[in-house]
């Protein structure tokens, strides 16, 4: 954990940096492939709507020891169709869903189930849902989504700017498309709890995006007055500064959702809880990815197309070229000085060698002509 905290500090100080903005084509490609799979699955397979949206009947049988296969065989025999869905709720009850196309009345089905399964009719709860109720829920959910999108776009445009609002809106749509596409491809049932989960993930995704955008706004304040870095570089620095915070927020949010999904839904069999947690788990994961790899790179791309940021990028490039040229000139001068120093040393060594060669024979001659001291 201390290493992770140290990484966050180094990211904030700029000692370590991941180039998310510079690799935007890679992120766009990944998002495009996932979105394409989701759209194809949504258009071909479609959503598996729950009984609340398409209408039908739900029978909850309370009998200890009753298995899903027994209830499935009996309901198929009663209605003469195998499209009914039977599942255990985890509390000793069996839930049977029958589509609205079945002509048998709910009272007749309850009576037959009571007789075949040897359970009192009072222990069988029957609920009939009309398709108009599900249609009304869908319309209200869609209306709420549109109102939310409009308000969010207006707020971001006022608090930040319209480019940030557009980038955040694209990230939200990205998260919704992926989440809905996963439901279509995998075949998860869409219930009212799923719709609640869809609407909830918008808030989480928007929160991460706003946190990053706020830091980017601080980093790019008075950016045009300098010529050291471009808008993309400043935005990428802001993204790195909030990277650990975004990851921590996502992990903290995913842990309880995963507990609801895998423990509450998987072990306890909580149907509605499972629907909400599944949508949240997929949406939070997609939201964490989009706030880092989609929203900020898209914002930087939009800003770099403005005349001011183009002029800034040109000034930054000119300064870096001048700095590189000056560094090269200094390097050449240093190399020349070093070369001259080496040549001077070599000349000095050569001169010293020549002097030694001249003096050595003279010394020998004097040595030979010196008296030996013997008389």
The string of pLDDT tens digits covering residues 212-241 is 898 888 888 888 888 888 898 888 988 888
Q: Which domains does the chain have, with CATH numbers?
A: 19-49+134-314 (1.20.1640.10), 56-129 (3.30.70)
pLDDT at 298 over 90: yes
The string of pLDDT tens digits covering residues 62-116 is 887 778 888 888 888 877 765 677 877 766 788 888 876 566 677 788 888 888 8
Residue 232, burial from CB neighbour count under 10 angstroms (0-12, 13-18, 19+): buried
Mention every residue, 6+ apart, whose C-beta is less than 8 A from residue 201.
175, 176, 179, 279, 280, 282, 283, 284, 286, 287
> pLDDT value at position 134?
67
The string of pLDDT tens digits covering residues 156-200 is 888 888 999 999 999 988 988 888 888 888 877 787 778 878 888
Helix (H, G, I), strand (E, B) or coil at 48: strand
Q: Measuring CA to CA, how many Å separate 236 from each of 1, 253, 288?
A: 24, 24, 16
pLDDT at 368 over 50: no
Helix (H, G, I), strand (E, B) or coil at 147: helix
Half-sphere exposure of 129 (CA within 13 A, CB side): 21
Global pTM reads 0.72
């Amino acid at each position: 954990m201390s290493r992770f905290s140290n990484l966050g500090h180094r990211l904030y100080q700029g000692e370590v940096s991941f180039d998310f903005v510079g690799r935007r084509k890679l992120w766009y490609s990944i998002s495009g492939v996932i979105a394409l799979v989701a759209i194809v699955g949504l258009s071909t397979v479609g959503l598996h709507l729950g009984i609340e949206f398409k209408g039908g009947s739900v029978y909850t049988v309370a009998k200890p020891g009753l298995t899903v296969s027994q209830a499935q065989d009996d309901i198929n025999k009663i209605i003469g169709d195998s499209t009914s869905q039977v599942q255990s709720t985890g509390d000793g009850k069996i839930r049977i869903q029958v589509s609205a196309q079945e002509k048998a009345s709910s009272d007749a089905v309850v009576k037959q189930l009571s007789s075949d399964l040897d359970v009192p009719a009072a222990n069988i709860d029957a609920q009939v849902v009309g398709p108009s109720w599900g249609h009304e829920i869908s319309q209200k959910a869609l209306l709420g989504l549109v109102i939310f999108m409009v308000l969010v776009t207006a707020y971001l445009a006022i608090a930040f700017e319209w480019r940030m609002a557009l980038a955040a809106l694209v990230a939200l749509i990205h998260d919704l498309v992926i989440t809905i596409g996963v439901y279509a491809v995998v075949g998860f049932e869409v219930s009212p709890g799923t719709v609640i989960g869809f609407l909830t993930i918008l808030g989480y995704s928007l929160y991460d995006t706003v946190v990053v955008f706020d830091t980017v706004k601080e980093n790019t304040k008075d950016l045009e007055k300098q010529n050291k870095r471009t808008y993309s570089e400043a935005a990428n620095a802001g993204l790195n500064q909030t990277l650990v915070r975004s990851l921590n927020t996502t992990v903290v949010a995913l842990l309880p959702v995963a507990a609801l999904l895998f423990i509450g839904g998987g072990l306890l069999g909580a149907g509605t809880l499972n629907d909400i947690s599944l949508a949240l788990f997929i949406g939070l994961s997609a939201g964490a990815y989009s706030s880092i790899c989609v929203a900020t790179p898209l914002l930087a791309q939009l800003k770099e197309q403005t005349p001011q940021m183009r002029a800034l990028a040109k000034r930054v490039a000119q300064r870096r070229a001048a700095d590189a040229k000056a560094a090269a000139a200094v390097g050449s001068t240093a190399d020349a000085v070093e070369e001259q120093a080496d040549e001077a040393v070599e000349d000095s060594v050569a001169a010293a060698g020549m002097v030694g060669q001249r003096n050595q024979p003279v010394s020998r001659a004097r040595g030979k002509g010196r008296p030996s001291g013997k008389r």
